[in-house]
Amino acid sequence: MVAYKAFFKVISKNLTVLMIYVVVFISLAMALANTYSPAGEASFIDAKVNIVFINYDEETEIVRGLRGYLEKNANIVDISDETEKLQDALFFKEAEYIVKVPKGFSEGILMGETPQLESTAIPTSPSRVYMDNMLNKYMNTVKAYITTMGDISHAELVRLVATDLEEKIPVDLIDSQLELANNQKRAYYFNFMSYSIFAVLILGVCTVMIVFNKPDLKKRNLCTPVKIKHMNLQLVLGNISFALLTWLVMVLPSFILYGGFMFTTKGLLYLVNSLIFTIAALSISYLVGNILKSRNAMSGAANVIALGSSFISGVFVPQEFLGSTVQKIASFTPTYWYVKSNNIISGMESFTAEGLRPVFLNMLVILGFAVAMLSMAMVLIKQRRVSN
């Protein structure tokens, strides 16, 4: 593995220049995370509705249980059972819901019947639906126990129903604006990463290839006992190892910044998309490295290719703000399709085959760029070998 070791010796000699792009990228990523301030934590307060509870039945355990359940979930206001006063209470919103327990209610329940509670509410008030659901929930639970345990006592029935209805399901509310901002921040991180990966790979690969393509060194290598086929294979492995190492270094801060998100489906899609783009960037860098003959032209090529493609593909300026002509030109670069995939991933809420199809199609386009650039590089190398 002489050529493989020589590959990384050349890289180590130019590590300072390469680290500038890495440090700048990581610094901007950290700054973006630290300066970002969430709009505020989402909260939910369970507001109680003012209701009137009127009982025409006897004061049984079942009626007391129903009243106790309503007292825990609503405010029972004391208004006399007069039609005019009850109507005024609804009109002035002193109460939003009136529930009346009919005569024979408790006895009907124990007989297995389903007596109906009388209710009156403001027609357009959402409290009507809320209270109707609450009463239905109570009555359905009572009916379930009566059906399965017909000989149950009043006290036992009320106790079991109250125990069941006290069960609460924890609900985590997500602020849509906060989640949208987080998605935009993650997409920006991976979009900007394309510029750094492209620049580092072009500079690194070009540096090595320019050294190995020097006429004197190439002639000397032909005299070594190592077969040229094995030497080329080691250089290919060196390029792949360097690309994967660069990708890992760029991706590592995302696990620090976004934690568990990177282990979700969205996080995995971002990682796969960036890895495929790294392959395309490596192919282009390999082609450029076999074209350039001077180290002076290397920095210019890195700026033109990496920086230029980033400007027209949506890395620094969102794609929706770019003109149609610019986007058509940008579509001839893998960066455009990479950014497009990231934007789609950022806006995804469900992961269906139909929703993932454009992401996978864009990934195939990026792989197409990789294959095309690598084929061109192979043709160029073969033509040089024949001409020499």
Domain spans in the chain, listed from the N-terminal domain onward: 2-39+174-387, 49-165
Q: Name the CATH architecture for the domain at 49-165.
A: 3-Layer(aba) Sandwich (3.40)
One-character DSSP codes across 273-307:
HHHHHHHHHHHHHHHHHHH---SHHHHHHHIIIII
**Rounded to an integer, what distance in angstroms lies between the CA atom of residue 270 and that of residue 251?**
10
> Could you give the 3-state DSSP secondary structure of residue 318?
coil
The partner residues of 51 in beta bridges, in order of sequence, read: 76, 97
Q: Which of 187, 195, 191 is nearest to 267 (CA)?
A: 187
pLDDT in the model for residue 36: 47
**Rounded to an integer, what distance in angstroms lies between the CA atom of residue 348 and that of residue 246?**
28
Neighbours of 380 (CB within 10 A): 14
pLDDT in the model for residue 208: 85
**Rounded to an integer, what distance in angstroms lies between the CA atom of residue 51 and that of residue 77?**
6
**Rounded to an integer, what distance in angstroms lies between the CA atom of residue 297 and that of residue 281?**
18
CA geometry: angle 26, 32, 34, nearest 5 deg: 100
List average pLDDT for each run of 10 residues in the chain, which is 388 residues long.
80 82 77 52 62 88 86 88 86 86 83 81 80 86 80 79 75 56 81 89 87 70 66 84 92 87 90 94 90 79 86 87 89 93 88 89 94 89 71
Q: Which of 109, 81, 115, 106 is nearest to 95 (CA)?
A: 81
pTM of the model: 0.63
pLDDT in the model for residue 360: 94
The partner residues of 49 in beta bridges, in order of sequence, read: 74
**Rounded to an integer, what distance in angstroms lies between the CA atom of residue 101 and that of residue 104?**
9
CA 18, 22, 23, 25 torsion: positive or negative?
Answer: positive
CA geometry: angle 3, 7, 8, nearest 5 deg: 130
The partner residues of 121 in beta bridges, in order of sequence, read: 97
The partner residues of 53 in beta bridges, in order of sequence, read: 99
pLDDT in the model for residue 281: 93
Q: Give the β-pairing of 74-76 and 97-101.
A: unpaired
- The H or E element containing residue 220 is helix 215-222
> Could you give the 3-state DSSP secondary structure of residue 323?
coil
Q: Which of 147, 141, 179, 185 is nearest to 163 (CA)?
A: 141
Q: Which of 118, 132, 121, 114 is nearest to 97 (CA)?
A: 121
**Rounded to an integer, what distance in angstroms lies between the CA atom of residue 186 and that of residue 183?**
5
